A and B are shown apart, each in its own frame.
Chain A
Amino acid sequence: MTQLTRRGVLGTAAFLAAPALIRPAFAADTVKLGCLFSSSGTMANLEGRLNHVVRMAADEINGRGGVNGRQIEVVTSDPASDWPLYAQVGRQMLQQEKVAALFGCWTSVSRKSVLPVVEQNDGLLFYPLHFEGDENSKNVVYVNSPPASSVLPAVDYLMGPDGVGAKRFFMIGSDYVWPRTINKQLKGYWTGKGIPETAWREEYVPFGFSNFQTLVNQVRSFASQPGGQPIVVLTVVGSSIPDFLREFANQGISATDVPILGLDMVEADLEGLDTGKLVGHLNCWAYLQAAKGERNRKFLGDWASYVKAKNVPFSADTVIDPMVSAYDSVQLWALAAAKAGSFAVPEVRKAFAGLSFDDPSGYTLTMTGADNYVSRGVFIGSVNEKRGFDVLWQSPDAPKPVPFSPYG
């Protein structure tokens, strides 16, 4: 009995001793990049595709001869949407695989979980999602926009004469840091413009909340009060987005009555909805698939053929902002490493100053070196009948990112 048990324990130890969690990497004259995107668990449908985008970008760079004479090798993993596991895998990537940079995380909480790891090991994490801002680690490159440089322009547009002249605001968000930060900054912004506190309402729902009947009733009664054009600023995430939109349309509210600005809304959220009644609702990102220009056309074509060639289990004709941001991340890293002539993190970091890259959105991404943020353009998209977004407005240039919001 004891013998067999011990064997069991030893067997378990052997599992651990195996290079757990990471598919081993081989060649010697390569430089390794690590991916921290889940391909299982709740985030799989969104994060999973970013692994492939990073590989695609690496292939493209390798096709040009690599960086500093070395080919890029991408190491992927599966943190399984389990936040502590992101830290664990990140630690292994940096200590064991000696990756030159990490590309990863979608949710704020996974970034927060990896943050101490990259700081302790002086690694470099490229984070491709728009997020709540108010953070500036020298070990993280924030490739997407903080709220002050993406959300505020969109809200400005809606408040202006080109938008709807919005005067009153109903904020509905999932209860966590990102929506709460956005709403806090918005309130600060409106207060600064002399808008009274009675002009807005703020409601939060738990994750995965789906029963929006009462909330939509409240939106309707809010909208019927006097005081000017109301809009909904929607920061719920995940499956709550389609459930909210469905209830909203069913209660007969159209975008011309009360427009929704869905800050986390992407094409995938419109799957399974009849968007005929949702036409006109808005989202806002640093990239939209409908962006004009040759670079975008090429990127869409590249992705479609990559999906086909590598048999990637994701849609060949859906490209969302975080995919492009992940692609930009790899390109920015390669540019910085080439400019530095080195893969050492301090050298690469120094090379960020003055970096620029023409990305598929049509804007030129720039970094100043003052912080690890990237200047991106702003798009406002409008839902169309075909479960996609038309470009309704885009910023004339890429505004300078504001990491720490002045509005609270």
Chain B
Amino acid sequence: MSGTLRTALARQTGPATRALRDPLVAGLVGLCLAAAAALLVAPPAPYLVNALGQLAAFAILAVSLDLVWGYLGILSLGHGLFFAIGGYVCAMHLLAHGAAVTGVLPDFVQFMGWKSLPAYWAGLDHAAYAFLLALAVAGLVAFLFGLASFRSRVNGVYFSIISQALVYVAMLLMYRNDTGLGGNNGMTGFPLLFGWPMGSPGVVTGLAVATLMALAAVLAGARLLVGSAVGRRMLACRDDETRLRTLGYSTTRLKLGIWCLSAMIAALAGILYVPQVGIINPRVLAPDLSIEIAVWVAIGGLGRLGGAVIGAVLVNGLKFWLSAAMPEAWPFILSGLVLLVVLVLPNGLLDLAGLRPTWLRAAR
């Protein structure tokens, strides 16, 4: 790892000491809270509320990837896996809850010819248990995969490729009907959320508000983390792992811890995403989607939590809008945007902000 990153480190270590005075993150957290309040006071059309909630869920996912990629130098091309774990467990909860209240089994269960929900669904109708289970499963999968990888020092592009293969395997498995979670069709038709009918304006607004608040909390928490002593060690590990290890730090433990945390945040994003979109299916496990998460982060600006949020919101907002307004042009715009960022703005769109003072200085 090399020059640019080292420069980035030099720039980063300064602000890192002034942890919560990061104006970008503070601004975004404020914006999230303000948007949440605005939704509560004067909600716009339900589908706009819903879209905003989905964007916030994507932003949480992007932040989770930025934590490991931007601050540890580990590019995971398999983060869709943890997102999907959160999503699937959430969907299982919604279906189990619905079945408990209405007494009607989900249609894929009927299709499989089962008379009741399988044993491992037990307790999933309790929201708190399902929530903890989602985080625990994501954390456990991340722990096992991370332990095996980090211990044998699988690094850089190798880690990326192997994590991509992992998410691909998971996709193949979930597409299999015999896996028992709905196969290709996945899970849909969630009737209730905490007893309220899904899709009613109150539930839609509530979900969007909750997601915005979660985004604010994740952002603030992640900022605290990267500003702490652990955060400095993360940057050191990113820039020169061997040296850090020689100095006596256990980089494996550090990486493993942050990696699991990141996976759990991604699962949180999945938990919040699924009730808003109303369906989960193996497509979220497609390797393409996982690469796209990295694209959001890179476009917004790697290694600055706010950048991940901006990238995720910008790319997905544009996608929502342009895939209808200019369906032919959207892929070209996206690929152009990526190339532009990669070639001209190595730190993402946030570089545009960095450029301005230079011009001003020149003008002066």
Give A residues with C-beta under 8 Å from B. 1-2, 4-6, 8-9, 12, 15-18, 20-23, 39-40, 77-78, 80, 82-85, 87-89, 91-92, 95-96, 108-109, 112-113, 115-117, 120-121, 134-135, 175-177, 180-181, 204, 206-207, 408
Contacts and interface: CB of A to CB of B under 8 A. Distances in A.
A78 B356 contact: no
A83 B318 contact: no
B45 interface: yes
A15 B177 contact: no
Contact of A177 (B23, B183, B313, B330): B183
B188 A115 contact: yes
B205 to A, nearest CB: 14
A16 B324 contact: no
Interface of B: 23-24, 27-28, 31, 44-48, 50-52, 55, 107-108, 110-111, 113, 172, 175-177, 183-186, 188-190, 197-200, 277-279, 281, 283, 306, 310, 313-314, 317-318, 320-321, 323-325, 327-328, 330-331, 349-350, 352-354, 356
| A interface: dominant SS | helix
A21 B189 contact: no
Given A40-B328, A91-B50, A204-B177, A109 B313 contact: no
Contacts of A21: 320-321, 323-324
B184 A113 contact: no
A207 B320 CA distance: 26
Contact of A115 (B110, B189, B197, B314): B189
Contacts of A177: 108, 111, 177, 183-185
A93 to B, nearest CB: 9
Q: When A and B form their complex, which 9 residue pairs have the shortest distance between CB atoms, in order from nearest?
A: A176-B184, A120-B199, A1-B353, A84-B277, A21-B324, A12-B317, A78-B327, A113-B279, A109-B185
Given A96-B45, A109-B184, A113-B188, A181 B111 contact: yes
Given A1-B23, A85-B323, A91-B46, 4 more contacts: A9-B31, A113-B188, A176-B175, A207-B184
22 contacts: A2-B23, A4-B353, A5-B350, A9-B28, A16-B55, A18-B321, A20-B324, A23-B324, A40-B330, A78-B323, A78-B327, A87-B277, A87-B278, A88-B47, A96-B47, A113-B278, A115-B189, A120-B200, A175-B175, A176-B175, A176-B185, A177-B108
A207 B283 CA distance: 12
A365 to B, nearest CB: 27
Given A6-B31, A17-B48, A88 B277 contact: yes
B188 A116 contact: yes
Nearest to A85: B323
B278 A206 contact: no
Contacts of B349: 8
Contacts of A207: 175, 184
Nearest to B204: A91
B281 A109 contact: yes
Contacts of B200: 120
Contact of A4 (B283, B314, B352): B352
Nearest to B27: A2
Contacts of B330: 40
Most B-side CB within 10 Å, residue of A23, A121, A175, A408: A175
B321 A15 contact: yes
Contacts of A109: 184-186, 279, 281
Contact of A5 (B277, B310, B328, B331): B310
Nearest to A93: B47
B107 to A, nearest CB: 7
A17 to B, nearest CB: 7
A204 B46 CA distance: 41
Most A-side CB within 10 Å, residue of B198, B279, B330: B279
Contacts, number: 158
A85 to B, nearest CB: 8
Contacts of A112: 185, 188-189, 279
A162 B200 CA distance: 56
B51 A20 contact: yes
A134 B110 CA distance: 10
A270 to B, nearest CB: 25
| B interface: dominant SS | helix
A22 B172 CA distance: 33
B364 to A, nearest CB: 18
Contacts of A116: 188-190, 198-199, 278
Nearest to B273: A84
Given A1-B354, A116-B198, A206 B175 contact: yes
Given A78-B323, A92-B47, A176 B352 contact: no
A135 B44 CA distance: 34
Contacts of B110: 134
A5 B47 contact: no
A85 B324 CA distance: 11
Contact of B324 (A17, A78, A84): A78
Contact of B310 (A8, A16, A96, A115): A8
Contacts of B47: 88, 91-92, 95-96
B14 to A, nearest CB: 14
B220 to A, nearest CB: 16
B110 to A, nearest CB: 8
A5 B353 contact: yes
A96 B51 CA distance: 14
B113 to A, nearest CB: 8
B281 A83 contact: yes
A40 B330 CA distance: 10
Given A175-B184, A177-B184, A22 B318 contact: no
Contacts of A113: 188, 278-279
Contacts of B327: 39-40, 78, 80
Contacts of B199: 116-117, 120-121
Nearest to B323: A80
Given A9-B313, A95-B45, A95-B46, A134 B183 contact: no
Contacts of A134: 107, 110-111
Given A9-B31, A176-B185, A177-B111, A83 B283 contact: yes
Contacts of A18: 321
